[in-house]
Amino acid sequence: MRRAVVLSAVAASGLGAWGQDAPQAAPATDPLVEITPELDESINRGLVFLASQQNEDGSFGDGSWGRGVAVTSLAGLAFMADGHMPGRGRYGEQVRRALDYVLDRSSESGLLADDQAPSPMYGHGFAALFLGEVYGMSGGDEALQERLHEALVKAVRLIERSQNEEGGWRYNPVPNDADVSVTICQVMALRSARNAGIEVSSQVIDDAVEYVKLCQNPDGGFRYQARQGSSAWPRSAAGVATLFYAGEFRDEAIRPGVDYLIREALPGRGLRRGYFYYGHYYAVQAMFLAGGDAWRIWWPATKRELIDLQDGNGAWPDRTVGTAYGTAMALIVLQMPKRYLPIYQK
């Protein structure tokens, strides 16, 4: 019954904000509507736990993926989502050490990766996003800004030249193949860099949009690659988020994609184990950017589900990638309404 009521409300409202040139991302009205004392407590416990997981070299990571730039960058973003910056704030030292770890792994080619990293373009996308957000929020430390600028520009250029002929990206920095999952990582990195003042090719963005649209199925969801395949909620969330971050706020592919997510993946209907935190990470961004009733429906359900899944020690375990990853992802999701990170500001 609740599902039918939710879908009727969305259909009747037209998702609230879609008559505009750009979406009205969830309005910053009374913060208690979005951020409650219960949520604050959950976030604080999560941040304490995450800080305790930093390795001696500044990295984060455990589980099958081990330490690396991807999880380290996500952990840095989780602290920044609470307003902490390198050397500033309660967790400023953690952010600074994470940043040093990532910058130390910037290669001459521009690739941000650890030695022998599997699927390095995933890590590169998350790391370039992290650098872009730090660069856009930092000031005063000229040496740090110069180092950030150099690494970020090289990272952007690598993304641009490794885009394949369809318009997407895949696991390695060569233009041979593409999938929606790796593509959203690169688009977010490019959007963050552009927000921070780095020149980004508009043609690269346009081609990425066309690739993602090729991956949409008739049900509104997105398949993994442009060829045949079924829809799934994590990659569908990534597909919708890609279009928003590419500036396609009124594209005809967006509404069916948002409708698909609400119909198939509204939180609170049972734990979806496959790519759970990955899906939440992109879905909350898609709904935040859609705004209107989509956000009002999605946010309370997401908040409730993640708070209920938190362990007593403050962690959000993930069996596949590791607890540091699950905790960082959950914290980024739960802090979306704080709007500290430039990429979430409107």
Structural domains in the chain, sorted by start: 55-344 (1.50.10.20)
Q: 75 pLDDT band (50/70/90 cuts)?
A: very high
Question: So what's the pLDDT on residue 320?
Answer: 86
Question: What mean pLDDT is predicted for residues 116-121?
Answer: 85
Amino acid sitting at position 132: G
298-325 in b/e form (b: 16+ CB < 10 A) is bbebbbebbbeebeeebbbbbeebbbbb
Residues of the chain above pLDDT 90, percent = 80
Highest mean pLDDT of the ranges 64-68, 135-139, 173-177: 173-177
Question: So what's the pLDDT on residue 274?
Answer: 76
Question: What mean pLDDT is predicted for residues 3-12?
Answer: 43
Question: What mean pLDDT is predicted for residues 55-79?
Answer: 89
Amino acid sitting at position 314: G
For the cut 60, the answer to whether the pLDDT of residue 137 exceeds it is yes
Span 286-303, pLDDT tens digits: 999 999 999 999 999 999
Question: So what's the pLDDT on residue 67?
Answer: 77
Average pLDDT, the chain: 90
Contact criterion met (CB below 8 Å) for 330 and 52: no
The four Cα atoms 180, 185, 191, 195 give a dihedral, to 10 degrees, of: 170
Q: 222 — phi, psi (to 5°)?
A: -120, 140
Question: So what's the pLDDT on residue 115?
Answer: 80
Q: 33 pLDDT band (50/70/90 cuts)?
A: low
Residues of the chain above pLDDT 70, percent = 88
pTM of the model: 0.91
Q: Provide the 8-state DSSP code for 106.
A: B
For the cut 50, the answer to whether the pLDDT of residue 128 exceeds it is yes
